[in-house]
Structure 1
Amino acid sequence: MADRLAGKVAVITGAGSGIGRAVAERFAEEGAVVAAWDVNEPAAAKTAKTLVERGAMATSFAVDVSSSASVRAAAAGVLEQFGTVDVLVNNAGIFDYYTTLRDTTEEAWDRVLDVNLKGMFLVTQALLDALIEGGGVVVNTSSISGMIAGGGGVAYTSSKHGVVGFTRQLALEYGKQGVRANAVLPGAVETEMTKPLLAQKDLPILETVRSVPAGRHAQPDEIADTVLFLASDEARFVYGTSFVVDGGWTIV
């Protein structure tokens, strides 16, 4: 299949690397106009440049999703440039590297929750009217840590559980107004953020990561394929779900 997102305007946060970049590439392949958002401005610009070189229409914005002013400015820029937003992928996130409750500082807790959960709230709220007007789709990146413990530390796990709740409430509140919201819950994915972690030998949780039924970690494009499905009309009757893509981690 091709052109599943033809002519759709898609905002993707965290698009400068990892899953976000892979989603931007898949969306562009399927005909979407991509607005790549990332706190790392050169990385966002690189993603957009790559897509344009491949014949897609794309632009980039430097956005700190934890800052309401930064989010509002980027949202206004996208709407001024394209007039609407059809798909929003809330993917920006940070990890706490399995830090326990005892060792988590207040500053670290605030930072993880601000990016992973508050950022999702700010971005979705800023683009909500456009999404309602166009019958838009929201796909939120949670994690298997949104349904079990052990996939991260206390701050990360709490934030990703929050993403699942946020997604369900969003679907409930705005589904009848035409907004379809779902969450994708990846397991271990090899990205720039996780490569140093996955290379460790002595972290107990990694035994579980290495023993998933799939026998390996996911690559970002494998998560992107699921995000594409949820964003497309193929998932037109899917609302408020938590779509697990973990290689079988959660059945071990």
Structure 2
Amino acid sequence: MRLKDRVAIVTGGAKGIGRASALELAREGAKVVVGDIDRAEGERTAFEIVEKGGTARFIHADTSDYESVEGLVKETIRSFGRLDIMFNNAGIGNPPVSVLDMPPEEYHRTVAVNQHGVFYGIKAAGNAMKEKGGVIINTASVYGFFADRRHFPYHASKGAVVMMTKAAALELARYNIRVVAVAPGLVDTEIVAPWKQRPDLWRTVEKAQMRGRVAKPEEVAKAVAFLASDDASFVNGSVLFVDDGAASFKR
């Protein structure tokens, strides 16, 4: 087990990529704290880890609020004595609307979770890791590298995560803290669930990947576990695409 006895926080760990990653990190031996605003699903994730013989607990956390994220980190350390891995994964999509018609409150809501939440996680976890080092992993997106119509706030927030990862890596290297990111392509989660109700749209979405299918959350989780492990000990300031080549070819 590559992560035996290490302590990890996964924000947005109740569902989707976060849930799959929490389960995978636990399978690799980590003690996992599931942070989420969804108490019922978050507790279900933690319970499943414990049921499979792992160690986990749920802590309610709102990543759009710094005090909540800082509290998540502090409570984790109170429970397990340390923090080795911080996966800043919590994220939301935005309703598909032109930038000209985008309500300001919708823009701010998306950025508050996707961008500010990552900053809060980097700051809180970074301060907790200064003495012993650690790994901070952020969820970016292929949408942080190329644009599509009607997703302006999502693009803005995920593009910011890319540069936040690089800038934080540069600053925190002196403390032996690695900062990296995953950039998934289309993943079969709740964010894209409405698209599956339209077969024509879903076929188009599938074709956006080189091999014509959408990723499973577990496939992203495998990449997260690699980045968290010593197998990635010389990977820093990098963004790992988990997109089946979606960002590599012109449609």
Same fold? TM cut 0.5:
yes
Q: Does 1:251 align with 2:244?
A: no
Inter-partner Cα distance in structure 2 for 1:151 and 1:164: 20
8 Å CA contact 2:3, 2:25 repeated in 1: yes
Comparing 27-36 with 191-200, which one deviates more in the overlay?
Answer: 191-200
Q: Does 1:80 align with 2:78?
A: yes
Residue type of the partner of 1:233? D
Taking structure 1 as reference, are residues 77 and 151 closer, same or farther at Cα in structure 2, changes over 3 Å only? farther
Q: Map of 1:89-100 to 2, 5 A cutoff?
A: 89-100=87-98
Q: Map of 1:155-166 to 2, 5 A cutoff?
A: 155-166=153-164
- Per-residue displacement from partner, 1:61-95 (whole Å, max 9, x unpaired)? 11110012222222221111112110000000000
Residue type of the partner of 2:6? K
Aligned with 1:226 (options 220, 223, 227):
223
Q: Does 1:56 align with 2:60?
A: no
Supply the RMSD in Å over aligned alpha carbons.
Answer: 1.6
- Provide the residue aligned with 2:190 in structure 1: 192
Cα offset, 1:98, TM superposition: 3.3
Secondary structure of 1:94 counterpart: coil
- Provide the residue aligned with 1:174 in structure 2: 172
Cα offset, 1:160, TM superposition: 0.2
Q: Percent identity, aligned pairs only?
A: 37
- Provide the residue aligned with 1:28 in structure 2: 26
Inter-partner Cα distance in structure 1 for 2:136 and 2:244: 24
- Provide the residue aligned with 1:19 in structure 2: 17
Cα offset, 1:207, TM superposition: 2.1
Cα offset, 1:234, TM superposition: 0.7
- Per-residue displacement from partner, 1:186-238 (whole Å, max 9, x unpaired)? 000001222212432465x9625434212100000000011111111111101
Secondary structure of 2:59 counterpart: strand
8 Å CA contact 1:10, 1:89 repeated in 2: yes
Inter-partner Cα distance in structure 1 for 2:171 and 2:45: 33
- Provide the residue aligned with 2:233 in structure 1: 236
8 Å CA contact 1:186, 1:244 repeated in 2: yes
Cα offset, 1:152, TM superposition: 6.5
Residue type of the partner of 1:84? R
Inter-partner Cα distance in structure 2 for 1:83 and 1:151: 46
Taking structure 1 as reference, are residues 176 and 12 closer, same or farther at Cα in structure 2, changes over 3 Å only? same
Inter-partner Cα distance in structure 2 for 1:89 and 1:22: 12
Aligned with 2:210 (options 210, 213, 219):
213
Q: Does 1:130 align with 2:128?
A: yes
Residue type of the partner of 1:237? F
Residues paired across the two proteins, number? 249
Secondary structure of 1:194 counterpart: helix
- TM-score scaled by structure 2? 0.94
Unpaired segments ≥5 residues, structure 2: none
Comparing 206-215 with 224-233, which one deviates more in the overlay?
Answer: 206-215
Unpaired segments ≥5 residues, structure 1: none
